[in-house]
Amino acid sequence: MRLFNYDGGAMRSISKFTDCISLSLLFLVSCIPVFTIGTAMTAMYHTAYKALRHDRGYVFRDYVESFRDNFKQTTPVWLIALVLGALLGADGAIIAFYARKGSIPAALGVVFAVALAVWFAWVSYLFPYMARFENTRKQSMKNAILFAAVHLPMTILVLALAAGTALMLYIFPFLVIMLPAVHSWLQSFILEWVFRKYMTDEERRKEDERNVDFSDYL
């Protein structure tokens, strides 16, 4: 029966399921040293876009190659993002402490929430951008925040997807072995819509020739 052939729907579904688990575990292990999280996010997006979405490679090989190739470029960028995130976290803790005492206006908490959302949106664009384009660190950081600001509807979708993923993990913690890859896979549909706008016609043509039509897997 074709259903249970390698190219059948059931086998493809099983293959994608196991690939999501494999990629998520690779990502989680790579994040353990903390300073490698940025590189891990870059490698996961690269692999999710190439191997999961377009079936153009192998999860382990593509992840390891991307991690190795991007380590020097992405690590300093992640450390900068981490410091900024830590400062925001410290500010949030201070605001929450004084808000409970009623010594600062509650509106300040809204300002902090907006700042945190901006930081998260920036990071959400930044490492996928570095996975897809070659550029200087400074220009990559600049482009990521510009993309997040210019394409605000897509940015809202990115944040909504992240919130939904976080909620799923909160309710079903065991899904941590699969959801990171699924999140990156779904995120690619949003971000690639943005990224394609900044590709030349020739780059888009070559990209389309390399990729397999996603409808083949539905």
Write the pLDDT tens digit of every residue in 63-79: 999 999 999 999 999 99
CA distance 12 to 15: 5
Q: How far is CA 52 from CA 49, 55, 81, 145, 191, in A?
A: 6, 5, 27, 27, 15
Per the structure, the complete domain to which residue 78 belongs is given by 2-217
CA distance 166 to 13: 24
pLDDT at 83 exceeding the cut of 90: yes
CA distance 155 to 120: 10
What is the tally of structural domains in the chain? 1
pLDDT number for residue 56: 86
pLDDT at 213 exceeding the cut of 60: no
Q: How confident is the model at residue 14 (pLDDT cuts 50, 70, 90)?
A: confident
